[in-house]
Structures are given as structure tokens and as C-alpha cells.
A and B are shown apart, each in its own frame.
Chain A
Amino acid sequence: MALGKEQMKLLYRNLVRADHFDKMMMNRIMQGKLIGFYHPGDGAMAAGVGASTFLGDDDILNPHHRAHGLGYAAGRGVDIGRYLAEHTGKVDGCCGGRSSFHWSFPEKKMYGASGFIGWHFCPVVGWGWASKRKGNQMVLMASGDGSYGQGGAHEAMLFAMNWKLPIVFFCENNGMAIHSTISDMHPMPDISSLAQGYGMPAVVIDGQDVFAVAETVMAARKHALAGKGPTFVEAKTLRLREHDVGTPDLARAEPREAAYLEELKKRDPVVLATSRVLAEKVLTQKQIDKIYKDAKAEVEQVEKFADDSPVAQPSIEELLAGVYVA
């Protein structure tokens, strides 16, 4: 179960890429080059990368909304050019430039997001049921601590456990829900304690450690594929910036202290992973420099692709064709 050298290299590369993409999105929204808004993932990209990099091709992945799922997209092998084109309203976007934040990428079994946090819990039960019937497939359901205040979360855990569905409930707990702190929102700081109430195996891990996240999710996936039912993985992470660009960074009604945020940067997952791969001789500094250079080049390529793509101007017929009516 322990990670091999090549797996560690891949995780590190994906983490650096995801971090570069997040910074790209930040730069672009500040320059007015994104439609919609952006929820920065600065300092919190390890959880998504670690959770998604070693999923199977058939596994269904519901990404967390932080950084608009960029960590998960990078780990999953999503075409980031099409992701950015989507966020810029271009025809080459993964949903034809119509969705921005609420993108989906069905080719990678990522079926969309919604502005309503916690919407996904009940569809996940359906995906879990389908995966169980199909076999050799599972669902990774990522969300934040705030979403576990939704009733649907509890219904989903109840059904998943009763039906022993192959679902990994993956919670990125950064202790903040917009301006609310976790102590305002939950009686217990570990969201995993909710899962224990349903008899679901639950673990708490360091969400800043991309290797620990990957190893844990691999174990949880194995558990799911063995027919043992759902598990709950709580990755403790942090939020270095405001909830979304344009909203003040408050905890309750008070601005978060700059000195405290500066201290938190010591827990930046890229910093931690870099020191690990060097200490454990997985990568040399020269190889790390190359990974950074490649990531920078990929960002330039992605931006060029999105910028060159024409602005989407769908006709009424095309728009209606995208509307599902039951």
C-alpha cells in the first residue's frame, strides 16, 4: 500500500501543476479575464491532488468546489485548457463556455457542480448504487466541512451504509465555511464523527500532506472495491485566503489576522512536499526545477488555448438542447 517512487513523483508533479493553475486563475480573475467568480485554493491543493491521482478510470469523481476542483482536475488528467476555456466563456470550454464554476467533464466521470453547496450528496448515492451493480468501480465524493450541515449529507451516509455502497466520503475540513468557523457550525470539530454515528469507518488525516492523502484514499478505494461499503476520510486543511475573490476574509465579523495567515503558510503543501521529496531522495533539485518549468509552460499553453478560442455565442436552439426536462 505504501507509495512507490514513481507514484510520489507523479503526485508531486500534479501538486505543482495544480498550484500553478490555481495561481493562474487568481491572476486572471484579478485581471478581469474570467467569467463568474473564483474560490482560491491557495495552500489547500494537496487534498484534491492526493485524492484523485490514483483513482481508476471508471471511478466517479465529484470534486470539491474550492479552487473550482482544480486539484481534482489536475490529478484526474482533465484537459485544463478546456477547463479554463469554460471559465472564460469560450466555445472550446468543457461545457461550451456556458457554466464557469459549474463545469462538468463527463469524459472523466466528473458530472458537474452547483452553486448550492451540498447538492451532490443524494446523486452520489445513485452513482454509488450504479457502481455497486457494475462492480470494480467506486465513487469519490469530495466536499467541505460546511456541506455536512446539509440534511442530504446524512441521508446519503445512511443509505450508503445500509446498502454498503462503494463510496469514499472525502471531506476537506479547512475549519471555515465562508465567514463561519467550524465551532459555530458543528458541535464537534471532526466531521468524521458524524460518519461514526452511521457505523462507517472514518479516519482523520493531514490534508496538507499529498502523500498521506493519496495513501489513505488508495486504502479507502481498496475497501470500497472489496465490497466492504463506504468510508469517510477527513483531510484537515486550511484556507490561506478569502472564501472567494471579492468577499472580505472574515472569521465571524472580524478580519483574520495577517500574521496568523503568514504563519499558516509554513503548512503550504507544496513547501511540505518539496522538503519531503528532497529529503527522501525521490527527486533532485534539478528535477524539481524541471517540474516547475514544465508547469509554467503548461500554464502558458493552457492560457493561449483558452484565449485563442472564440467567445461562445450559442443559439437559442443550442441552449435549449442543453436543458434537461424530466
Chain B
Amino acid sequence: MKSVGIIVNPAAGKDLRRLVAFGSTATHSEKINAVVRILRALAALGVSRVRIAPDPTNLGQRAIEASGEGLESMDAACLELPWLLGSRSDTERAAALMCEQDFGCILVLGGDGTSRAVASHCGDVPLIPISTGTNNAFPRMLEGTLAGMAAACVVRALAGEEALQRAPMLRLLADGEEVSHALVDIAVIDTLDSGALAVWEGHSIRELFLAQARPDSIGLSAIGGCLTPLEPGCGEGLHLQLGEVDDPGCTHVTAPMAPGLVVRVAVCECLRFTRRAAVCAREGVFAFDGEREMAIDNKRRWEVAYDPMGPRVVNVEQALALGIERGLFRDEILPRAQQQP
């Protein structure tokens, strides 16, 4: 049986948007509780080996210690990494190691940015992204116990390819070469610096490329979701150009940019694309999955490519349904014994 990995971003759900918007805070204790619930579900369903990515706050070890009785049959420990820097590289190195060791499934607790960091290093290992971040277009709000049960279905080979799906992603190309990527959105922000990373001001967005646009998501992709949603699996991305909010020539869209922050933005142009779309802006900063990261070099030719073959993601509902169908949760002897007077 393959191992299950758990990666928790201790910093997710704590950024500036607690001040400039109304984001809730995912506390350490709540993250530990979520991991405890995952561990207990994995152990209850016979998973033999679990490794948790280490972090400087020792969250994984705390969760193992807090899990109480019931984990004896499972080898649960923190992954060994030589150094922890308290930065994104810790997450990336843990994901790469789990990929190298051929893990069967990785549960990722964080926001869009955390999933992006994992997806870029996990290869084809299936992911279960669980939201503990602020803007959650990629990860979903999932109860840890159920997520753990779904992961057990996957690694015990009861839910195979039929419970997995490829998520689309976006690749940013400079002069035809990939320089970065995003799972949900790439935005051009009218600012000079990446500052505290988060994007929350609608008027600062100049251009938006979306791999998904759902009406029930929050963040930058919600602008597309509230204008013209992309059907899952449609094989197309969305390219929006935004203008000044008082421009009467634009279509005005009201969308949830951040928790409690529903803003009105002006969309000048909206196009679907299947392969590549050119970046029109010549200055500003690129934001990947809602985090400002890289300045535009106006000497280069920038494009965004839509890739339908992004990371493999577990369909939790489907995985659980297959687990039920194939008897993982059923004990044939116990109910009969209970029926005897």
C-alpha cells in the first residue's frame, strides 16, 4: 500500500486580508485538529503509513501527539527534511520528496497558493486540497475526517482513476518559455511591488487569465465566475481585460474579491481561449493564484497557455462512493452477530 502525505501550510489563512477584508483566521490549533481528524480516519481505514511535511512550528508532530489512541497500527511520523526555512521552499521540498517516494495521495491544507506550491512539485501524485486559506478557488471546504477517508480509498486502491480528475492550469510564458504557472488565475496588477503578496483592490487589476471561473468561488476568479462561468472540463480558459470602473463602455461586474469584500469592476473585453492568449499589459506585476510575485519585463513577449492536464485531484465524493461500493466501510460479520438475540 502506498503512503499518504499531509502538507499543511502553517501560514495560510493569516495574511493581510484579515485587516483589509474580512477573512477568517485559520488558527494553528484548528489546523492541528484538522490533521488529527485526517490521521484518525486514515488509521481507522487501515492505511499503513503516513508522513506529514515538517514545518518550523512543529504542527505535524503536535497533531500526531494529539491524536490519542487508535493510531498504533499506523506508521505516522513527520517527513525528514534537512532544513526548514519557514518559506514556500519547505512546502515544495516536501511535495518533491513525496513524489520521489511514490506516495499514493497528498492531502494539502492551505489556500490556492499552497496548492500551487505543492502541485508544481508533486508530479502525478493525486491531491486532496483542503481549504484553510483565504481565497479558495482550488481547494474546497472539506471536513478532515471525510478527506482522510477519501485518501484511504485512494491508497487502498478501492478508488482508482475513476475518482481522479485532471485540473486545468495556466502557464506563463516569456518569449515562449515557461517561467511560472497558476492553478486558478494569473492577474496583471497595476502596481510596482509584490508587497504583502495578497491582491484585494479591484481597481488595481488590469488583466486576468482564468483556468476556472465558478459562480461559487471567491477571489480573482470570481470576476469571471460572476460574468461568464466556465463549465468544469470545458477545456477553455478565460481572458479578461479590465478598465476604469467609471468607463461606460465596459461591462460592470460585481464579484467577491475577498471574504466580505464584494467589489464592482469594469470588464472591457472577455475572451475564451483554448491554447494561448497574449498578455497585453506592458507594465505591472503578475499575481499567481492571488499572490503578487513578479514584475513584467516589457522587453519580453508574454503569453498565458491553458493546460488541461494540470495536477491530478481526487473527487472526494466519488472516492467515498467507490469505497462504499467496494466494501471498505462494511463489516459483514458484525451486523449479523448483533442481530442475534
Residue B58 is within 8 A (CB to CB) of chain A in the complex: yes
Q: Is the CB of B83 within 8 A of A260?
A: yes
List A residues 95-143 near B (Cβ within 8 Å). Answer: none
- Which of B15, B58, B193, B204 is within 8 Å of A189, CB to CB? B58
- A220 to B15, alpha carbons, bound, how many Å? 12
Chain A: which residue is nearest B11 at the CB level? A204
- A280 to B20, alpha carbons, bound, how many Å? 24
Residues of A within 8 A of B228 (CB): none
Interface residues on A, range: 35 or more
Q: Is the CB of B86 within 8 A of A236?
A: yes
With A215-B16, A263-B83 known as contacts, the answer to whether A189 contacts B28 (CB < 8 A) is yes
Q: Is the CB of B285 within 8 A of A3?
A: no
List A residues 25-73 near B (Cβ within 8 Å). Answer: none
List B residues 168-206 near A (Cβ within 8 Å). Answer: 189, 191-197, 201, 204
Residue B249 is within 8 A (CB to CB) of chain A in the complex: no
Q: Is the CB of B28 within 8 A of A8?
A: no
Residue A231 is within 8 A (CB to CB) of chain B in the complex: yes
Q: By DSSP majority rule, is chain B's interface helix, strand, loop, or mixed? A: loop
Minimal beta-carbon separation of A143 from chain B (angstroms) = 19
Residues of B within 8 A of A193 (CB): 27-29
Minimal beta-carbon separation of A9 from chain B (angstroms) = 10
Interface residues of B, CB < 8 Å — how many?
A: 34
- A5 to B195, alpha carbons, bound, how many Å? 11
6 contacts between A and B (CB under 8 A): A175-B56, A183-B58, A189-B58, A204-B15, A215-B195, A266-B85
With A175-B56, A189-B28 known as contacts, the answer to whether A223 contacts B85 (CB < 8 A) is no
Residue B87 is within 8 A (CB to CB) of chain A in the complex: yes
Minimal beta-carbon separation of A206 from chain B (angstroms) = 8
Q: Is the CB of B195 within 8 A of A2?
A: yes
Q: Is the CB of B19 within 8 A of A190?
A: no
- Which of A190, A205, A282 is within 8 Å of B196, CB to CB? A205
Residue numbers of B with Cβ under 8 A of A are 10-11, 14-16, 18-20, 25, 27-29, 56-59, 83, 85-87, 189, 191-197, 201, 204, 285, 294-295, 297
- A196 to B25, alpha carbons, bound, how many Å? 9
- A238 to B84, alpha carbons, bound, how many Å? 12
- A5 to B15, alpha carbons, bound, how many Å? 23
List A residues 179-211 near B (Cβ within 8 Å). Answer: 183, 188-190, 192-193, 196, 201-206, 209, 211
Residues of A within 8 A of B191 (CB): 2-3
Residue A1 is within 8 A (CB to CB) of chain B in the complex: yes
Residues of B within 8 A of A236 (CB): 11, 86
Q: Is the CB of B27 within 8 A of A216?
A: no
Q: Is the CB of A2 within 8 A of B193?
A: yes
Residues of A within 8 A of B285 (CB): 280
Residues of B within 8 A of A4 (CB): 192
Minimal beta-carbon separation of B302 from chain A (angstroms) = 15
- A37 to B127, alpha carbons, bound, how many Å? 52
